Amino acid sequence: MNLEDARHFYIDGRWVAPSSGATIAVVDPATEAVIGSIAAGTAEDVDKAVIAARRAFATFSIAPVEERRALLQRIAELMEARSEELAFAMTAEMGTAIGFARSSQVPLAIAHLRAMVELLGSYDFLARKGTTAIVREPIGICGLITPWNWPLYQITAKLAPALAAGCTVVLKPSELSPLSALLFARIMQDAGTPPGVFNLVNGTGEEVGAAIAAHPGIDMVSITGSVRAGVLVAQAAAVTVKRVVQELGGKSPNILLPDADFERAVPLGITSAFRNVGQSCSAPTRMIVPADRLDEVEALARHHVGTIVVGDPRNPQTTLGPIANKAQFNRVQQMIAVGIAEGARLLCGGPGKPTGLDTGHFVRPTIFSGVTGGMRIAQEEIFGPVLCIMPYKTEEEAVAIANDTVFGLGGHVQSANLDSARRVARQIRSGQVHINHPAWDAHAPFGGYKHSGNGREYGLFGLEECLETKAILGYFPS
């Protein structure tokens, strides 16, 4: 990528110099080498971006729907054309395996744009209810704060509905994985996005994120991140009474009912839990299994972990690359040690790095069994390839274990009987539940109960988070 872009922000359709000379290093987690640096923004830079977004909103908010739809289509096409560059950027900045970047990180990000293109073909921004018109109008300027674990996917998950609604945007990508966001900004420029519609300001959450949350010129803030970050954003945003959408942490359950196909369900459950090196907020990291099948589950788990390849993320044969950054690596190591100290049975993995991988933030895929609800590893989000196997005796107990958490983002149920799976899925207190590992759906609303956040992303529900509802009485003749 153009290294000059990394030292600039994209504001009002141009690459502009930051207000300060401060920079943030970008580290390759596979080598621990500094591979570049980005400009560190300030509240002054955020203010410039908001001014540009406000000016652009006056025209973009009333642009014909087909113009917005065409813009989203052009962005998607450019992302597809530059998919290799985007994939390699994410491998460099946060260590995602190149095969996973190609198969998931990039195409699923594009899918959010495609979903909005499809939705805009039929969405009615004005509906009639008797003589009253129900009008859906863009909320205004959207401040988007995105995470390091799915750096491109979470940008498009937020940006696509905002643009589809007619909003303009100020984006703060994670300072820990900023390269793909800078490439995306270049795509936005090359797609012919009107000046001010999309603005990017790099920087820390403490500086740029806080400025976005508190800015009186921003009408809505959407954040994906930790519970702590979500709380801070909500507190800062409360003063200006702006809408806040939070997609935060998770500790998702995966219930295997007794009639499930265990030879299929156990390997798929581990793969889902360890996807993206376990750095997914909805990862099903608690596998809840019948107590009388525990030995069978453990044997299947050990066998499957033996097929996982940890190593150089640039190697297409690699399954899991490194943890994305040093702080998260330390957190994962700490929680593995906690699990051992709590008395959970270590089936495989454990503390330290895999043999032969002394450099880089690599961890050993780890599975604990005999985990109980009172253990920290059963309650806290670890955000690494660490799975807890928890036994149950009755279906009611399985559901109780699943719901015994402050989180409520995702859930899984495995059963040969669809009625049984549906019955259990309805009882899980989370924003999404997957039955028998279905295909991903870009239109399925995503968001959490409890400490997992407020609001929904993706598809229709994501679009409507970016809209205000206006009733115009007497709009239609009686």
375: Cβ contacts below 8 Å, ≥ 6 apart: 339, 342, 343, 344, 388
466 is catalytic: no
| Candidates 175, 247, 464, 465; catalytic one | 247
User: 431 and 449 in contact (C-beta within 8 Å)?
Assistant: yes
Rounded to whole angstroms, how far apart are CA atoms 445 and 463?
A: 10
Two structure tokens written together for 260:
């499930």
388 is catalytic: no
297: Cβ contacts below 8 Å, ≥ 6 apart: 256, 262, 266, 287, 289, 369, 389
Rounded to whole angstroms, how far apart are CA atoms 335 and 337?
A: 5
Strand partners, 243: 220
Tell me which H or E stretch contains 334: helix 326-342
DSSP state of 237: H
Distance of CA 207 to the CA centre of its chain: 21
The residue type at 397: E
What are the CA-CA distances from residue 65 to residues 121, 163, 166, 193 (Å)?
9, 10, 8, 14
User: 146 and 155 in contact (C-beta within 8 Å)?
Assistant: yes
Q: What is the DSSP annotation of 56-102? A: HHHHHTTS-HHHHHHHHHHHHHHHHHTHHHHHHHHHHHH---HHHII
Rounded to whole angstroms, how far apart are CA atoms 152 and 96?
A: 12
| Candidates 142, 175, 207, 281; catalytic one | 281
Rounded to whole angstroms, how far apart are CA atoms 256 and 290?
A: 7
Rounded to whole angstroms, how far apart are CA atoms 165 and 459?
A: 12
Distance of CA 196 to the CA centre of its chain: 25
Which active-site residues does the annotation give? 247, 281
